[in-house]
Amino acid sequence: MFESVAPELILWPVAAHLALVVFLYVWLTAARAIAVSKGETAYNDFQFGDGDSLSAARVSRNLSNQFEAPVLFYALAAILFATDAVTPAQLALAWLFIAGRLAHTAVQTLTGNVRLRGQIFTINFLALIAMWALFLYSRLVQ
């Protein structure tokens, strides 16, 4: 159950999350640049060419969310890597966490569906807690 895999494999979900953060920074910068070019000082909302509006504030809030629960993910990924404790279960949970972060970003930035966002966050949180539980169990109980 706790057999190790190559510790470098945990870096792929970390890299995927970093790519998401970079993407959000680029998106937010572009959204604000568009708003400023239109003379808007608040730049909370901007329009796409087809008249669809999108809240730059949503993107900003989602970017802030990427530095909340994911901090616990980064800490554990570093510990797993450093202690050569990456297991197939840890890796699967890490990818589940990242898939959830991507889904959470899509729901928070593109919709106003708070209920769905909460459900996705719950999945993220449970994956993260399971990762920590597996690690702590393997170190403290076995």
Tens digits of residue pLDDT in 8-67: 999 999 999 999 999 999 999 888 887 777 776 555 544 444 444 567 888 989 999 999
CA 46 to each of CA 11, 50, 97: distance values in angstroms, whole numbers, following the listed order: 35, 11, 30
Q: What is the mean pLDDT of the chain?
A: 88
Q: What is the DSSP letter of 55?
A: E
State pLDDT tens for residues 54-111: 678 889 899 999 999 999 999 999 999 999 999 999 999 999 999 999 999 999 999 8
- Within a 10 A sphere around the Cβ of 137, how many other Cβ atoms? 12
Identity (one letter) of the amino acid at 66? Q
CA 105 to each of CA 39, 62, 96: distance values in angstroms, whole numbers, following the listed order: 28, 6, 14
Predicted local distance difference test score (pLDDT) of residue 32:
82
| Pick from 115, 61, 119, 72: nearest CA to 94 | 72
Indicate if the pLDDT at residue 131 is higher than 90: yes
- The pTM assigned to this predicted structure is 0.87
